[in-house]
Copies of this chain bind each other. A is one copy, B any other.
Amino acid sequence: MTDIMLSKSLAVFPGSFDPLTRGHMDIVTRALGLFSQVTVAVLDNPDKKTLFTLDERVELVRDSFKDFGESVRVERFRGLLVDFMKKSGAGVIIRGLRAITDYDYEAQMALMNKHLCQDIETVFLVTSEEYSYISSSLVRQVASLGGDISNLVSPVVMEALRNKF
């Protein structure tokens, strides 16, 4: 398989999504304006403890985007992201940068992925300011302590979090 087959109109948005937040949804929605299809790639990493199982995380993403039709696909992946992309034929990685963000880490990953596959481009979008303080880990923490997260996640994720705690 050669790199030349990777399509620059197919984008992948990789992450743990433990769980999906409105910040993630903002990025996917805006990426859809730029690319014909966005695949939300849910990381299957057995070494990392997650609150939701892989199946649950995939299901929550699927439910939250169920009105988007074919343009948003949800898949699980493990292993090297660039290998998943070659298999999918997708040439673009989407990442969200928050005003409050670990930019240095993101730049490091983008350069490493470019090193691993020159034909894959990482594209950064800036998360809207109203989601600038939302991360999955903070959502988990606030929800576990009984805080109100209704503005931070979709209704299906909120219910799933309520069931966990």
Contacts and interface: CB of A to CB of B under 8 A. Distances in A.
Contact of A145 (B79, B107, B126, B134): B79
Contacts of A145: 79-80, 83
Given A100-B104, A115-B151, A123 B121 contact: no
A8 B34 CA distance: 6
Contact of A132 (B30, B79, B99): B99
A69 interface: no
A116 B147 CA distance: 7
Nearest to A79: B145
A67 interface: no
Contacts of A110: 126
A8 B91 CA distance: 17
A107 B129 CA distance: 10
A33 B82 CA distance: 17
A128 to B, nearest CB: 7
A112 interface: yes
- Interface size range on A against B: 35 or more
Given A8-B34, A99-B107, A107-B97, A142 B116 contact: yes
A99 B29 CA distance: 24
Nearest to A131: B129
A147 to B, nearest CB: 5
A148 B114 CA distance: 12
Contacts of A134: 112
A91 B132 contact: no
Contacts of A105: 100
A135 B108 contact: yes
